[in-house]
Amino acid sequence: MCACRRVWGRSGSHHRALTVLAVDGAQNALKEVTPTVGFNVEQFSRSSIDFTVFDMSGAGKYRNLWEHYYKDAQAIIFVIDCSDKLRMCVVKEELQAMLQNKHTVNVPTLFFANKIDISDHLTPVECVQYLDLDAVKDRPWHITPSNALTGAGLDDGISWISEHLRVS
């Protein structure tokens, strides 16, 4: 199951837009882990920024809608299921499509290497190598290991994205 979430953040008088993409099982890392059916809206605050998340199912038939969320995004979070090596080719294809979209150029991009609790998972370094992230030069990006079940890595990732939202 995939997920696409649009996040609007507010810091002081500045509104921030953020898009979260998750491919295959790397679901809601902010609360209970359940597949998205239809459309959900969630809110949270981190690092003095209020976020409103518009969570849309990312099943194959919905992926073509992701690009409609890029235009207003001021940051992107891309969640990688690093325990599913067989689906990394799909992750790479979806990532390439997102990176090639003109509305994502210069948009800070955070990668959560999710499911680090699963044995035999890809490390963040292996994800960078497989997805060729070192070739991404048109935006700031950061990858952090995460576990949606325990929340591990969320603070690191949200802190990074928050700093880039404040700078922009």
Strand 49-57 versus strand 39-46 pairing type: antiparallel
The pTM (predicted TM-score) of the whole model is 0.78
The amino acid sitting at 132 is D
Which stretches of the chain drop beneath a pLDDT of 70? 1-41, 47, 52-62, 167-168
Q: Would you say the C-alpha torsion 114, 55, 108, 100 has a positive or negative sign?
A: positive
CATH code (residue 152): 3.40.50.300
Cα dist from 163 to 64, 107, 108, whole Å: 30, 13, 10
pLDDT tens, position by position, 93-116: 989 998 999 999 999 999 999 999
Cα dist from 164 to 19, 67, 130, 143, whole Å: 14, 21, 25, 14
Q: What is the pLDDT of residue 104?
A: 92
Query: Are residues 94 and 21 in contact, defined by beta-carbon separation less than 8 angstroms?
Result: yes
Domain that includes residue 63, residue range: 3-167
CB atoms within 10 A of CB 138: 12
Domain total of the chain = 1
